[in-house]
Amino acid sequence: MDMNIAVIRGDGIGPEIVNEAIKVVNKVCEKYNHNINYTDVLMGGASIDVHGTSLTDEAIATCKASDAVLMGSIGGDPNTSPWYKIDPKDRPEAGLLKIRKALNLFANLRPAVLFPQLADACPLKKEMADKGFDMLIMRELTGGLYFGERKTIEENGEKKAIDSLTYSESEIRRIAIKAFEVARARRSKVISVDKANVLDSSRLWRAVTNEVAKDYPDVTLEHMLVDNCAMQLVKDPTQFDVILTENMFGDILSDEASMVTGSIGMLASASMNDTKFGLYEPSHGSAPDIAGLNIANPLATILSAAMMLRFSFDLGKEADDIEAAINKVLDEGYRTGDIYVDGLKKVTCSEMGDLVAERI
């Protein structure tokens, strides 16, 4: 297979972790005789340094012409970086919102998996951590409160801020279909999370999701209020398979889910449109405090690359091989600093990439 992949190395530790992911992808594609063409794209602070803005139209065009995008991390320290002294519309994180909209990346898939080798790092009770869990949060990414109309006005002598939360039937339907399709390939259970006891948008969300569910009789659908879901994630995460939810709820719940795994450095993510096209990135940030030190954990980015092979190229065996290699490295006791405990083998970012690639 021939693959055209746009590569956004980004800021902070982004270039380091992306290099290790590419190393592993190259190894598995060499094994299965796939050809890859990589095209570098600037985004975030790296783009500001060159172009004065976090994402150019040319960068978007390059991404659109590719089969998939592999990305590192975007942004710097807001307290010290000059990137945060320019117009907000040009700052690093603005590029993320812009590329999601431009590429119609409405579906964010964020797995939260507790690797058995890392059970001791899980903050939950031991009896719960020992069970392990494997869930996927399907977050709507281009609608809702983050993209609604917003303004600040003065009324009766005081300032008043207004943010609009809106969803259409079609926006809800397309993300629900994605969730049910993914659930079919997992354990066939969708829990749709909303606030239907208060919000009209959530009541529409629930109604449309119920309609979509009729086309998937083999998939179980449950509804859960967002506050209850937040509690259940720390009470018993094993009950979840696919969590379907809107933009802001998904933002908050996916961060909570990442913490119960014990390390955000192990969490991949994908943002997809209604084709096979997707943008793949780790769930963590750019960690500017450790950039260039070769101590970052590249496993989340490597796992994101495995998701890319699985979802954008239908290369399930290749993705399985990468995930198996990671498990083998963890079984052998190798750890980067963020997941290291006494008695194991501490390795650098590049050494971890080498170890995974060697076990493909």
pLDDT at 119 over 90: no
Instruction: Please write the tens of the pLDDT for every residue from 51-101.
Output: 999 999 999 999 999 999 999 999 999 999 999 999 988 999 899 889 988
Q: Which domain range does residue 152 map to? A: 123-260
Q: What is the pLDDT of residue 125?
A: 83
91 neighbors 49 (Cβ within 8 angstroms): no
Nearest to residue 200, comparing CAs of 153, 249, 244, 166? Answer: 166
Residues 237 and 300 both lie in one domain: no
Q: How far is CA 211 from the centre of its chain?
A: 27
pLDDT above 90 for 34: yes
**Among the options 227, 236, 274, 331, which is catalytic?**
227
Whether 146 is catalytic is: yes
Check which CATH number belongs to the domain holding 250 and give it: 3.40.718.10
**In this predicted structure, what is the pLDDT of residue 261?**
84
**Can you tell me the mean pLDDT for 311-331?**
96
Q: For the chain, give the mean pLDDT.
A: 94
Any catalytic annotation for residue 216?
no
Q: For strand 242-245 and strand 189-194, is the pairing parallel, antiparallel, or unpaired?
A: parallel
Q: How confident is the model at residue 43 (pLDDT cuts 50, 70, 90)?
A: very high
pLDDT band at 283 (very low <50, low <70, confident <90, very high): confident
**How many CB atoms sit inside 10 A of residue 91's CB?**
22
Rounded Cα gap, residues 125 and 133, in angstroms: 13
pLDDT at 29 over 80: yes
* Structure confidence at residue 135 (pLDDT): 95
- The CA distances from residue 225 to 112, 193, 236, in Å, are 20, 6, 16
The answer, yes or no, to whether residue 263 has pLDDT greater than 80, is no
Contact present, 138 and 106 (Cβ < 8 Å): no
- Same domain, residue pair 180 and 253: yes
Q: Kindly tell me if the per-residue pLDDT of 262 is higher than 90.
A: no
Q: Is 227 a catalytic residue?
A: yes
328 catalytic? Reply is no
Give residue 15's pLDDT. 97
Out of 23, 131, 195, 346, which one is annotated catalytic? 195
Concatenated DSSP letters of 250-301: HHHHHHHHHHHTS-GGG-EEEEE-SSS-EEEEESS---GGGTTSS-S--HHH
Set 38, 146, 346, 354: catalytic member: 146
Structure tokens at 124: 């939950």
Residues 216 and 179 in one domain: yes
Q: Which residues contact residue 89 at a Cβ distance below 8 angstroms, ignoring those fewer than 6 apart?
A: none
When divided into structural domains, the chain yields a total of 2
Q: Do 144 and 103 share a structural domain?
A: no
In terms of domains, do 245 and 270 share one? no
* pLDDT tens digits, 50-61: 999 999 999 999
**Active-site entry in 134, 255, 320, 354:** 255
What ranges make up the beta strands (E) of 115-188? 134-140, 150-155, 158-163
Active-site residue flag, 57: no
